[in-house]
Structure 1
Amino acid sequence: MTFGHWRREAYEALSAANVAMGQRRANTAADINTAVTARCAIFAQLARATELLVGGRPTPETPDRAQASAILTRRGQTLTKFYVGLRAAAIVDRQFPSTPAIVRTEPARSLRRAADAIGVIGDILASHVPPGRGPRTPEGLAIRAGGGVQSGLADLARLTARAVMIDIALPRWLEHAPGSLAEIYRPVAVTAKWTASSRLSTVARDLVAAGSGQAPLSDLNVARSPLNPAPGVSTVDDAIAALAAARTWMWHNPAQLTGEHLQLGTQVGLAVHMLTSGGDPKMVGGWRQAAIAAAELRATPPVGPARDAAAELAEALRWLRSRSPIRRGGRGELRHQQISRLDAELPFMAATLHKGLTAALQRRELSVRAESSLRRQAGSLVFGTTERWRPAVKDDDVVQDLTQALLQQHDVDRDGGQPVAAAQAFPHPPRPTSSLPRVSSSPTPEMTPRRARPRSR
């Protein structure tokens, strides 16, 4: 399940809890305890997700509510005010006992559901940008480059505005608690009243407005390793998960990328573009060139996790080809909007394949055809052609074709206006050294490249 799925889940749960508070009285201690504990967890999880998105705490200190009130009235510093408000809203001047494992009554059930969903959002982000460490996936690199951060904050702000609505209703809901329960949970009511009267909802609205039209993180999913055996692909979500697992592994292990990965990865790119462009040569030309060039390379078969990554690519490719209108009698089964989600994976794939190609060339693990020779066996009048292979080098035509196609396609995908953070923020891989002026130090994958010049033949 994706970032977008859990965002919707949390929003719906908060809305349900808000309605339930106006319709049901606070009854048992267990219900009240679950509701107030989940309410605090919601604000704490929103603050955690904010930290993960922006790469750390926007402010090093966690002020109390009095200090937070002063900060929230400042001009500017929207992110700092948002984070400070979330942290202050999560502070309650009393510890409460643990809540039961199963809750079936409202609004406690919906509040816990919302807290769990926001927690999963944080877990998804942490799998790409773990706290205190560098990004561990290409998506993480994109987020750290700013891609999707504004829209992600807007999503968290929408949930925050809905959580503030809970705090507006919570004190009155607690007043109807039987016996001494209202007094026991008074510290929660005090915090809720502060949140409701603070400027946190105003700050949240500012963040929602700032995120309008920005690249979304809706399709961001938990980063996983390739599985053995590769899971079957039967939906767009399955295909996205398979491609993400394969290319994330390849990104971290370029030294183990083989010719099979290059061939499968370029064929996946071609298959996706064939589905999304209707076969338009202008759209599929780059991936077709890459696939043709990759097919001319040979390498040792992948083993271990490398084989698992190749299997994930192969399964995604099988499914993509089965969706082809040609194979389905001219009838496309999937809506263009669904398939276009796969299109957003291609910038990552192009950059990852280029990184692996460079590493494989350095290790001299790719081979190209050498000039064939004619040989005649002893006692025979017939000459036969002997196919010969030699280690590939960067100046080989087929290698340059593949390199330029991957870099060109990466640029096309970036410039094509894909509404996904990854496609807009992912750092360019370096240009091949043959198209760059000589420099004293070698380029890194995070360097911004120059445009590749057309290669003369």
Structure 2
Amino acid sequence: MTIGQWYNEAHRALRTASTAMGRSRALAAADINAAVIARSAIYTQLARATALLVGGSPAAEAPDRARATAILARHGQSLTQLYVGLQAAAVVERQFPASPATAVAGPARSLRRAVDAVGVIGDILASHVPPGQTPRTPEGLAVRAGGGVQSGLADIARLTSAAIMIDIALPGWLDQRRGHLTEIYRPAAEAARWTANSRLSAVARELIALGRGQPRLHGLDVARPPLNPAPPVSTADDAVAAVSAARTWMWQNPSELTSVHLQLGTQLGLAVHVLSSTGDPTMIGGWRQAAIAAADLRATSPVGPARDTAAELTEVLRWLRSIGKGNHGEPAGRHLQQVSRLNSELPIMAATLHKGLSAALQRRDLFVKDEGVLQRPAGSLVFRAAERWRPAMRDDDVVQDLVRALVQGQDADSRSEHRSPSSRAFPLPPRPRTPVSGAHWAGFDPPSGPAVRRSR
């Protein structure tokens, strides 16, 4: 499931809990304990997601409520105010015993679902932008460059507004008209009243307004490794997950890419553009040129995770080919909308293959066919042409053709009018001008002009 799906799950759960609190009163102690614990956990998880989005804590330390009130009263610091407000809202001046899941019902159960959903959002972000580390994926690079961050903060602000509705209802829900219970849960009620009466809701509205019309992160999913065996692909969701896993591994391990990955990746780009209803003839030609050039390269066979990555791409290609032929007599056009979802993966795939190509050339692990030589076997009067291979060089025609096509795949797709929200959130990742994981991009820009095979 993607961040967008988990966001919707969290929002539904918070609204359900808020509605339930307004219609009833708390009864069992287990439900009350679970609800107040989950309420704090929601704010903690929202603060964690905020820090992951922006690359670190927006505030030096977690202030008490008095200090948080002063910070929330400022103007022009909405990000810091959101983070400080979330941290302060999570604080309850008493620890309540945890309740087993089987004993929890009503609003508390919905609040626990919301905590789990927001926690998964944070886990997905952490798989791309781990705290204190460099981004692990192309999406992570784009997020660190600002792609989708504003809309992500707006989503967190919307969930914050929904959580504040819980705090508005919580004191009344806790009111048992019993002296000892009122005193036991007074710290929870005070925390809820502080949040409901603070400027946190106004800060959330400011961030929601700033995020309107911005590229969204809803298509972001966890960065999983390639699996062995490769899962079967039968839907567009399966295909997107497989392609994402494959090119994420290739991005993280450019030194292990082989000609097989270049061939499968370029064939994938060609197949998607040919089958997609938004296929651009120019882009079809570019990916076709890339596939032709990659087919002329050879390398050692992939092993381990590299082999698993190739298997994931092979399975996606099998699914695409079955769609192109039509399954059970169905028209191929019925699946075009599904296939077009893969378009958003292609710019990053092209950038990943470009990076891997550079690394393979540096370690001299790609080979091209050399000029043949005539050899006469012993005892024969007939000369035969012997096939010879040599390490590929940057100035080889086939390498230059592949470079041009991959650069076209990055740049043209990133400007397409038919980009999906994910594609707009993740534009072309920054091209490093310094060595990255052994891959030098400097001096690797292709010459200008059409991608025409030059004669020797």
- Identity in percent: 64
Match for 1:427: what amino acid? Answer: P
* Greater mean alpha carbon deviation, residues 92-101 or residues 109-118: 92-101
| Structure-2 separation of matches of 1:324 and 1:209 | 43
* Greater mean alpha carbon deviation, residues 172-181 or residues 66-75: 172-181
Secondary structure of residue in 2 paired with 1:398: helix
Matched, 1:56 2:56: yes
| Structure-2 separation of matches of 1:18 and 1:82 | 21
TM-score, normalised relative to structure 2: 0.92
Deviation at 1:290? 0.7
| Equivalent residue runs for 1:317-336 within 5 Å | 317-324=317-324, 330-334=331-335, 336=337
Q: Which residue of 1 aligns with 2:68?
A: 68
Match for 2:146: what amino acid? Answer: G
| Equivalent residue runs for 1:4-153 within 5 Å | 4-153=4-153
Q: Contact conserved, 1:430 with 1:449, CA < 8 A, in 2?
A: no
| Structure-1 separation of matches of 2:198 and 2:399 | 61
Q: Structure 1 residues 330, 280: CA separation in 2 closer, same or farther (over 3 Å shift)?
A: farther
Q: Which structure 2 residue ranges, 5 or more long, are not aligned?
A: none
| Equivalent residue runs for 1:281-300 within 5 Å | 281-300=281-300
Deviation at 1:179? 5.9
Alignment counterpart, residue 424 of structure 1, candidates 424, 427, 430: 427
| Structure-2 separation of matches of 1:191 and 1:28 | 21
| Structure-2 separation of matches of 1:228 and 1:357 | 24
Q: Structure 1 residues 133, 172: CA separation in 2 closer, same or farther (over 3 Å shift)?
A: same
Secondary structure of residue in 2 paired with 1:344: helix
Deviation per residue, 1:336-356 (Å, 9 max, x gap): 2x4333211112111111111
Deviation at 1:280? 4.1
Deviation per residue, 1:120-170 (Å, 9 max, x gap): 111111111111111112211111111111111111111111111111111
Deviation at 1:324? 2.1
Q: Please, what is the CA RMSD of the aligned residues? A: 2.3
| Structure-1 separation of matches of 2:195 and 2:383 | 88
Q: Structure 1 residues 430, 236: CA separation in 2 closer, same or farther (over 3 Å shift)?
A: farther
| Structure-2 separation of matches of 1:190 and 1:222 | 37
Secondary structure of residue in 1 paired with 2:368: strand
| Structure-2 separation of matches of 1:451 and 1:299 | 22
| Structure-2 separation of matches of 1:385 and 1:114 | 69
Q: Which structure 1 residue ranges, 5 or more long, are not aligned?
A: 432-441
Secondary structure of residue in 2 paired with 1:333: helix
Deviation per residue, 1:358-395 (Å, 9 max, x gap): 11111111111122344454555655433222211111
| Structure-2 separation of matches of 1:153 and 1:451 | 38
Q: Which residue of 1 aligns with 2:449?
A: 454
Deviation at 1:239? 1.3
Q: Contact conserved, 1:226 with 1:249, CA < 8 A, in 2?
A: yes
Secondary structure of residue in 2 paired with 1:27: coil
* Greater mean alpha carbon deviation, residues 304-313 or residues 339-348: 339-348
Q: Structure 1 residues 138, 177: CA separation in 2 closer, same or farther (over 3 Å shift)?
A: farther
Q: Structure 1 residues 430, 451: CA separation in 2 closer, same or farther (over 3 Å shift)?
A: farther
Q: Which residue of 1 aligns with 2:262?
A: 262
TM-score, normalised relative to structure 1: 0.91
Q: Structure 1 residues 248, 179: CA separation in 2 closer, same or farther (over 3 Å shift)?
A: same
Secondary structure of residue in 2 paired with 1:409: helix
Q: Contact conserved, 1:143 with 1:425, CA < 8 A, in 2?
A: no
Q: Structure 1 residues 448, 39: CA separation in 2 closer, same or farther (over 3 Å shift)?
A: farther
Match for 2:167: what amino acid? Answer: D
Q: Contact conserved, 1:230 with 1:308, CA < 8 A, in 2?
A: yes
Secondary structure of residue in 1 paired with 2:101: coil
Q: Which residue of 2 aligns with 1:273?
A: 273
Q: Which residue of 2 aligns with 1:434?
A: none
Q: Contact conserved, 1:103 with 1:109, CA < 8 A, in 2?
A: no
Q: Contact conserved, 1:13 with 1:110, CA < 8 A, in 2?
A: yes
| Equivalent residue runs for 1:336-351 within 5 Å | 336=337, 338-351=338-351
The number of residue pairs the alignment matches comes to: 445
Deviation per residue, 1:286-332 (Å, 9 max, x gap): 11111111011111110111111111111111112222266766432
| Structure-1 separation of matches of 2:43 and 2:446 | 46
* Greater mean alpha carbon deviation, residues 88-97 or residues 267-276: 267-276
Q: Structure 1 residues 448, 133: CA separation in 2 closer, same or farther (over 3 Å shift)?
A: farther
Q: Contact conserved, 2:359 with 2:439, CA < 8 A, in 1?
A: no
Q: Contact conserved, 2:139 with 2:426, CA < 8 A, in 1?
A: no
Secondary structure of residue in 1 paired with 2:96: coil
Deviation per residue, 1:62-90 (Å, 9 max, x gap): 11111111111211011011111111111
Q: Contact conserved, 1:164 with 1:196, CA < 8 A, in 2?
A: yes
| Structure-2 separation of matches of 1:353 and 1:228 | 22
Q: Structure 1 residues 169, 51: CA separation in 2 closer, same or farther (over 3 Å shift)?
A: same
